[in-house]
Structure 1
Amino acid sequence: MKKFIRNIGDKVVVVQAEHELKMQVESLFRIFETIEREKWTDGFSIQIGWSNFIVSVKNEEYYILSPDYSGNPFEDYTEDLTLSLWAQLEQVHFLRKLNMKNGEGVSFRDKVVVAKNILEVDSIYLQRSGGAERGDSGWYIGPVHEEDDTEELEAFYVYQLLKIRPSLIQVLALPYEYMVIFERDQVKAVLNERDEDILSGGRNDTN
């Protein structure tokens, strides 16, 4: 893990993450440069993409923290922003592969509805429906093959997919009425609201 330091106004701001995420760290610094200085207080929180980022003042340095997705992100925070920035990168990168400038936001605390035990199945689809209540991502995950289907449902928080099946994280910023078909960790198709497969040239190397 690398410590990145930036002077923003009269404040020394510290971000820690894996070196490979340098560009994402720079983007985060640029966002914090736009925040009004009077908001720079201990505990200040801002939602950026799927994650929250929190200011923690320590020895006159301003550390940027994120929820700890390896533990309980509703109560615990970490100085290591690797997971938060990695998930953000995956979602932005996937939208760009589809030549989409904007998707539909999702939060780590949103719920995903899943056919029971379906995350253990190789062939699955994810479908996002509009009109979801607050706290509901709109995503449903079900089986491609009828023999894997079940009437029982369960729900997970978005962040829990990081442990269970992290390859799914990349598609969660797609708009409502989209569907994605996975074969294990590979995206096989992306269907838009008109049921058109927009995965360029049938490419299936997305991971």
Structure 2
Amino acid sequence: MEIFHAGFLEELHRRGVKPGETIMCGWLWFRAVEGAEEIELETLDFKAMASFTRDLSAAQVIHTVQQERLKSYGATEEPCNMMQTAFVSKSIIPGSDSIFLNRQEAASESDSGWYVGMVDESRDLEDPETFEHRSLYELTISDDRLASWWLLPVGTHVFFDRAEPYAERVEQAGGHQPPTRAEST
């Protein structure tokens, strides 16, 4: 379902959505709020943690770019949402050309399957203290380039070391792989 088509709010009314209820649509979360005459939607603004807005333009851009990214790679969406976590190197520097993403099988319902690391990792990959879990929402706030890649499937590597970031599909067996979530516990 297209998030922002004219009938979306009408569909929510038909379903009896009440103010305060949360609606998940694709990667995004919305909250129904009381409007002047009817229910309106607000969403996180992607500027600061837990900062909401009724301006849905940032959400629209993220949704559109995610769909275009899937289409350009001929990929089928691997669902996740902004509240799920990624396994993240504590070395990451938001905006760095050395960041890379690797999508693995999710370890749990709260896990997105994404690993966010640095190509030139300086920390010990065998040390569990090298990594942390962070929400995709938090990662997107810190580096908005990441949002368009979150729906790509398991086996995708994304690199930011060129003028335009790019993705590659890789086999999960063999070759250098970042630590799995199971290895971090």
User: Normalized against structure 1, the TM-score is what?
Assistant: 0.68
- Unaligned runs of 5+ residues in structure 2 are 125-129, 174-185
The residue type paired with residue 65 of structure 1 is E
Task: Give the Å deviation of 1:33.
Answer: 3.7
Superimposed CA distance per residue, residues 16-73 of structure 1 (whole angstroms, 9 cap, x where no aligned partner) = xxxxxxxx7643x334444462513222321001111222223323211113433333
Larger-Rg structure: 1
Are 2:60 and 1:82 equivalent residues in the alignment? no
Counterpart pick for 2:122 among 146, 149, 154: 149
Q: How far does the alpha carbon of each residue in 1:129-153 deviate from its partner, in whole angstroms, 9 at most, with x for none? A: 11421211111122223xx331311
- Matched letter for residue 82 of structure 2: F
**Residue matched to 2:69:** 94
**Alignment partners' CA distance in 1, 2:85 and 2:15:** 34
Counterparts of 1:1-207 in structure 2, within 5 Å, are 26-27=4-5, 29-35=6-12, 37-73=14-50, 76-100=51-75, 102-120=76-94, 121-145=96-120, 148-151=121-124, 152-183=130-161, 186-193=164-171
Paired residues in the alignment total 166
Partner of 1:201: none
Runs of 4+ in 1 over 6 A off after TM superposition: none
Superposition CA RMSD, Å: 2.6
Partner of 1:4: none
Aligned counterparts of 1:128 and 1:174: Cα–Cα separation in 2:
8
Measure the CA separation in 2 of the matches of 1:185 and 1:39: 47
Looking at secondary structure, tell me which structure has more strand per residue: 1
**CA offset digits 1:77-120 (Å, max 9, x no partner):** 321112222221221111111123x3112211111222122235
The 1:31/1:185 distance shift into structure 2, 3 A limit, reads farther
- Which amino acid in 1 is paired with 2:42? L
**Is the alpha carbon distance of 1:67 and 1:189 closer, same or farther for their aligned partners in structure 2, counting shifts above 3 Å?**
closer
What residue ranges of structure 1 are gaps of 5+ in the alignment? 1-23, 196-207
Distance 1:45 1:185, change over 3 A: farther
**SS at structure 2 position matched to 1:39:** coil
The SS at the match of 1:141 is strand
